[in-house]
Chain A
Amino acid sequence: MILNLAGFRIKILCPHGQDTIRLSLSHASLLSKGPEDFKLLVIYSDRFLFGDPLLHAIPAAIDLPRLAEGQSDWCSKVDYSDRRILLQGIHPEPPHHVVWEMQLDPSEGTGQLCLPHSSRNQDPLQYPVDALLIFYLLIFNTGIIVHASGAGFHGNCSIFAGESGAGKSTIARYCQVAGARILHEDRIVIRKTGEQFTAYRMPLFPGNLPVFMPLETIYFIEQSDSIYEIPLPPQVAFEKLACHSVQHPFHPELVERQISNIISIAQSVPCYRLGFPPDPEVGRYLSRPPDPGTGFAWKPIALCPAQKGVKPKIPDYRTVHDAIHKPGH
């Protein structure tokens, strides 16, 4: 069988003679067909896949919203060697706390998932296995997962990144009222496809269908008395996007890869600060087609309060250290 996980077609294989895979509602809606991008062999065995204990124990940082705070003590064990990612963890959700092990070789497009015999009647890809699989495939395929909502007008998608409570769901619903199709209200997968970037729905909830749209704009949202948007230079966009990306890399090479992916997105996709009041008008505003008559890449700045300058979150040492001048400068 083939599952479409955020655009990755994952072929799920079972060794000859073993049971077929049981899928939960969360994944049954993602059944797909066509050539696979990745082959995952699911093995039911009571013996561990990895002979030696994995080196690192890390918190499971893919903090999907359906997991309560009280479950934050469970963790994954990870390692990275010979371009293979080794993961070991426990399914946090009832009825059984099943130990799973997964080995991924993204460059080869293959992986193995090992589960105990007692879990044969459960979905082997239940969280966090599915999310970790997507995350690590993205690292090797110029992509990231972003804490953002997304909505599409005219077949193209804008995503809205922001802190919890900034209004990600609210602005997505305002867009929906104005005729947009919602991609997701909390997690968006961004991935390079050909020469452009595409936004995919992160499959989190039962019945989610695989949906994707070309990514046109990234907005970093903030609450305001009026609507305004301010274009961001790539460096500022990178800093903001890094803050809002889902972070799970544990090895310097994986960190480098994720940083490179974020930079690639920040350089390619127009990024803006977007202020908006709690008013559906912002949905109508965003539904306007691009204005080719302006000097801006996407659409004109509406109202830009003077006090809202483009200000990066981190200190800008250019200001501090430009006091030191080269001779003759």
Chain B
Amino acid sequence: MDLNQVYRIKQPVVLHPFGDQVYVIPVREKLADMTSILGLNATAARIWHSLEIGETPEQIINEFIREYETPAIEIRHEVVQFLSEIKDYLENDTQSGRFPD
């Protein structure tokens, strides 16, 4: 995937915090789909929020590298892995439609 692209959340969702997680409830065909809720911990929720405000994956990775002691390659791997897990929610800002593999 192109880490310098802006990816937007394409699907309507409702975010709801509970405990140490933020739950993502997708809205499909105008109805909430609670069989597909997604739980995000603080780090994942921060990545989600960064995407919502238009940051590229590369910018998100660099923020984590500056902030954490974890090796950069590990941070990059974790962020990319998370993005691939939520790819159904994302679309490329310039190529409307599918999330590139």
Chain A residues close to B by CB (< 8 Å): 56-59, 61, 78, 234-235, 238-239, 242-243, 245, 247-250, 252, 255-256, 258-260, 262-263, 312, 314-318, 320-327
Q: Which 7 pairs from chain A and chain B are nearest by CB?
A: A321-B43, A242-B34, A317-B44, A255-B32, A58-B30, A255-B14, A259-B16
**Complex contact B70–A315 (CB within 8 A):** no
Residues of B within 8 Å of A58, CB to CB, are 29-31
The residues in B between 1 and 42 inclusive whose CB is less than 8 angstroms from any CB of A are 14, 16, 18-21, 23, 25, 27, 29-35, 37-41
- Give CA–CA (A137, B20) in the complex, Å: 30
Q: Is residue B101 within 8 Å, beta carbon to beta carbon, of the partner chain?
A: no
- Give CA–CA (A318, B21) in the complex, Å: 9
Residues of B within 8 Å of A249, CB to CB, are 31-32
Name which of B51-59, B74-82, B92-100 contacts chain A.
B74-82
**Nearest A residue (CB) for B38:** A314
- Give CA–CA (A320, B81) in the complex, Å: 9
**Complex contact B74–A323 (CB within 8 A):** yes
**Nearest A residue (CB) for B74:** A323
A-B contact sample (13 more), CB < 8 A, given A58-B31, A247-B33:
A56-B30, A78-B30, A242-B35, A245-B34, A247-B32, A258-B32, A259-B14, A259-B25, A259-B34, A262-B34, A320-B81, A320-B82, A323-B74
**Nearest B residue (CB) for A258:** B32
Contact of B37 among A59, A314, A318 (CB under 8 A): A314
Given known contacts A247-B33, A250-B31, is B78 in contact with A312 (CB within 8 Å)? no
Residues of B within 8 Å of A322, CB to CB, are 41
Residues of B within 8 Å of A243, CB to CB, are 34-35, 37
- Give CA–CA (A58, B33) in the complex, Å: 13
Given known contacts A324-B64, A324-B68, A324-B78, is B30 in contact with A250 (CB within 8 Å)? yes
Shortest CB distance B68–A (Å) = 5
**Complex contact A314–B39 (CB within 8 A):** yes
Q: How many interface contacts (CB-CB < 8 Å) are there between A and B?
A: 101
- Give CA–CA (A326, B34) in the complex, Å: 33
**Which of B18, B20, B23 has the largest count of A CB atoms less than 10 A from its CB?**
B18
**Nearest A residue (CB) for B19:** A235
- Give CA–CA (A327, B70) in the complex, Å: 8
Residues of A within 8 Å of B75, CB to CB, are 324
**Nearest A residue (CB) for B23:** A259
Shortest CB distance A239–B (Å) = 6
- Give CA–CA (A17, B25) in the complex, Å: 47
Shortest CB distance A144–B (Å) = 10
**Complex contact A321–B44 (CB within 8 A):** yes
- Give CA–CA (A320, B14) in the complex, Å: 23
- Give CA–CA (A260, B68) in the complex, Å: 34
- Give CA–CA (A258, B70) in the complex, Å: 39
Residues of A within 8 Å of B44, CB to CB, are 317, 320-321
Residues of B within 8 Å of A259, CB to CB, are 14, 16, 18, 23, 25, 34
Given known contacts A56-B30, A58-B30, A235-B21, is B39 in contact with A256 (CB within 8 Å)? no
Shortest CB distance B33–A (Å) = 7
List 13 A–B pairs whose Cβ atoms lie within 8 Å, in order of A's numbering.
A57-B30, A245-B34, A248-B31, A252-B14, A258-B32, A259-B34, A262-B34, A263-B18, A314-B38, A314-B39, A317-B39, A325-B69, A325-B70
**Complex contact A317–B25 (CB within 8 A):** no
**Nearest A residue (CB) for B39:** A314
- Give CA–CA (A323, B73) in the complex, Å: 12
Residues of A within 8 Å of B20, CB to CB, are 235, 318
**Complex contact B34–A324 (CB within 8 A):** no
